[in-house]
Chains A and B, each alone.
Chain A
Amino acid sequence: MSINRGRLRWQCRRAFLELDLVFARFLERDFDRLTDGQLADLEDLLRCEDHELWAMVNGSEPCGNDRWKEMIGLLRQQ
């Protein structure tokens, strides 16, 4: 079954502002171009706790899962 883009778009709403801003940029710039495979990676990444996610995005913690690396890279891009 294919992943609903609207659901993932909504689940990019996070608990604090820093992540909301990073995801807003990502949704505007990258989201519509993602392949089904990339969407599945994003879905997996979105299950992370927000503090862990932010630490990976801001570079204070390494990304521990190969599957997330591409998405973290896109989120970090300015």
Chain B
Amino acid sequence: MNVAKRTFDAVIVGAGGAGLRAALQLSESGLKTAVLTKVFPTRSHTVAAQGGVAASLGNTTEDNWHWHMYDTVKGSDWLGDQDAIEFMCRKANEVVVELEHYGMPFDRTDNGKIYQRPFGGHSQNYGQAPVSRSCAAADRTGHAMLHALYQRNVRANTQFFVEWMALDLIRDADGDVLGVTAIEMETGEVCIFHAKATIFATGGAGRIFHSSTNAFINTGDGLGMAARAGIPLEDMEFWQFHPTGVFGAGVLITEGVRGEGGILRNASGERFMERYAPNLKDLASRDVVSRSMVTEINEGRGCGPDKDHVLLDITHLSPETIMKRLPGIREISIQFAGVDPIKAPIPVVPTAHYQMGGIPTNYKGQVVAPKDGNPNAPISGFYAAGECACASVHGANRLGTNSLLDLLVFGKSAGESVVEDFQSGDLSLKPLPADAADVSLARLARLEGQKNGESVFEVGLEMRRTMQKHAGVFRFDNLLKEGVARIKEVAERSRRTEIKDKSKVWNTARTEALELDNLIEVAKATMVSAEARKESRGAHVRDDSPDTAEFPNGRKDNEWLKHTLWYSEGNRLDYKPVTMKPLSQDVEPIALAKRTY
């Protein structure tokens, strides 16, 4: 079949923070750059980031990048690569100041500098005291960042393909990446984007879980495309959860509610946190609260007909206090739980928030995979940045405000690498294989012709429920083993999805079916990787690997200080070493220690 072809120096998939930052680097260097995006750029999920962006500017309290690096390595539970972490922390000031010059409206101190505020896990002097490191624009940092980057890209003549969905990665016989296939939603036409360089910046895939804070757009498209093209996904067992999401909706209920006196209760009304954390009770750390909630549910003390959630009770607070201090939370509860928290408690469960793993890259943003004995051999023509990538700076657990920094630093770095590879002649426009679009066309034809198939909604729901139950915030060996079998069954069903609407133009049912193909790859990667890792580390906490004298926090460095690599074909696992050596000779590695705060 004849498929239209467009040719660019570089094609970027995704127009959130990472994609826009990478695009800017390319366009300002004069490269002909296309950005494909499912939604208008300023409607990317980066908009939802509120906290701020970390940089050791030291505007409010004394700070330096060595301290930031220490905090990030420790936060990662030593699974982060120290070369990439050094690179990110050293680059932070530069990318934040650049953003300021692009017109980002950061909050200011009285003397006009960027105002900085403290954030969990960030410290002065290697854990001695809290530090003010987060640069924010009120509670709309992500929103302001996207607008600043988008405007700058318009100035630089970046070419946007809005409401286009990338379908598959194009690789040749050498394994080099030559671009992507994509479908234009408005026409339903498939097109090849042939390019010397391809950058993925497609964000996370939080929609694999039943309870997730992620917008519907976060379907892991880049991860699905990479996995189908034979590229492994790294450390996909590591997902950050927040303890209190509205049951059935996933929307976050901030910790501030418990700070104001909110109490978690089980089906019999018991304040169960008194048993798990007698001193801090409901204000214990996020992981302790999440695990306690899951234990209550797993042991049959959950609420509702299916005993599948617990309750967050603020009915003992005065209506005036709730109206004054927690107005947003009251509205969320009314909207999404159908409950006025002045009168009745809010049903809650832990909710998935951020994906630490992703497409393996080095600190330059080049996608890497094992080849000829090198665990980190770059794949020619392929780069990735942001939540879809794994550099790895977040390791087993991300610190707040490091995600916006990640997308700025590695978006820029991926862009710089493309420009360098371009100028050095390492990148050329290799000829397209004759079958470049065949995989995508076959997927579309299968969907078009499927009879007596499965409902996209039902299969998606089964996937989300399976992931929540079997690979949630607190993990059990038997549940994970069952989960592997179940998610494989769901994956089989996903190969037979059927859509009733066959129209070409603006067919959202088809888009959702194609998104499910991507999500299911991420779900398999997460379940299989989590089942195999027989230790607790960071956000991956197993019931059978508790905190002991021999294995503090249940972490087993002798056996498990390594990155997981999951391959879609046969659900095969491989592992590669964690880079414990920083980038610079004169920087001391951060030695292994127990992660305590």
Contacts and interface: CB of A to CB of B under 8 A. Distances in A.
Interface of A: 4-7, 9-11, 13-22, 24, 49-51, 58-60, 78
A75 to B, nearest CB: 10
A39 to B, nearest CB: 13
B39 A13 contact: yes
B143 interface: yes
Contacts of B47: 15-16, 50-51
B335 A14 contact: no
A60 B331 contact: yes
A21 B249 contact: yes
A31 B338 CA distance: 21
B215 A15 contact: yes
A59 B511 contact: no
Given A15-B45, A78-B335, 9 more contacts: A10-B511, A15-B43, A15-B44, A15-B47, A16-B45, A17-B214, A20-B215, A21-B251, A51-B140
A58 B213 contact: no
Interface string B171-198: 0000000000000011000000000000
A26 to B, nearest CB: 12
B205 to A, nearest CB: 14
B508 A17 contact: no
B48 interface: yes
Nearest to B39: A13
Contacts of A7: 185-186, 506
Contacts of B338: 78
A52 B333 CA distance: 20
A18 B185 contact: no
B215 A10 contact: no
B298 interface: no
A14 B215 contact: yes
Contacts of A50: 43, 47, 143
A60 B323 CA distance: 12
Interface in B243-257: 249-251
A17 B215 CA distance: 4
A11 to B, nearest CB: 8
B163 A10 contact: yes
Contacts of B505: 4, 6
B508 A6 contact: yes
Of the listed residues B215, B327, B336, the one surrounded by the most CB atoms of chain A closer than 10 A to its CB is B215
Interface in B197-245: 212-217
Interface string B319-347: 00000000110011011101000000000
Contact of A4 (B44, B331, B506, B511): B506
Given A50-B43, A59-B331, A78-B338, A6 B503 contact: yes
Nearest first, the 9 closest Cβ-Cβ pairs linking A and B are A6-B506, A15-B47, A16-B48, A20-B216, A58-B331, A15-B43, A7-B506, A17-B215, A16-B215
B43 A6 contact: no
20 contacts: A9-B506, A15-B39, A15-B42, A15-B46, A15-B217, A17-B250, A18-B251, A19-B215, A20-B216, A21-B249, A21-B335, A22-B335, A50-B43, A51-B140, A58-B328, A58-B331, A58-B335, A59-B331, A60-B328, A60-B331
A38 to B, nearest CB: 18
Nearest to B142: A15
B506 A17 contact: no
Given A17-B215, A51-B143, A10 B506 contact: yes
Nearest to A14: B43
B271 to A, nearest CB: 29
Nearest to B330: A58
Contacts of A11: 39
Contacts of B376: none
A17 to B, nearest CB: 5
Contacts of A21: 249, 251, 335-336
A6 B507 contact: yes
A30 to B, nearest CB: 16
A65 B395 CA distance: 47
Contacts of A51: 47, 140, 143
A51 B43 CA distance: 10
A24 to B, nearest CB: 8
Contacts of B213: 17
A18 B334 CA distance: 12
B43 A17 contact: no
Nearest to A78: B338
A5 B38 CA distance: 17
A78 B215 CA distance: 20
A4 to B, nearest CB: 5
Contacts of A5: 506
Nearest to A5: B506
Nearest to A58: B331
A4 B42 CA distance: 22
A20 B215 CA distance: 7
- In the complex, which of the residues B186, B506, B511 has the most CB atoms of chain A within 10 Å of its own CB atom? B506
Contacts of A49: 42, 143
Contacts of B46: 15
Nearest to B218: A17
A13 B186 CA distance: 15
Contacts of B214: 17
Contacts of A60: 327-328, 331
Contacts of A19: 215
Contacts of A59: 331
A11 B506 CA distance: 10
B111 to A, nearest CB: 29
A10 B42 CA distance: 15
Contacts of B186: 7
Nearest to B140: A51
B251 A13 contact: no
A74 to B, nearest CB: 14
A46 to B, nearest CB: 10
Nearest to B248: A21
A22 to B, nearest CB: 7
B218 to A, nearest CB: 9
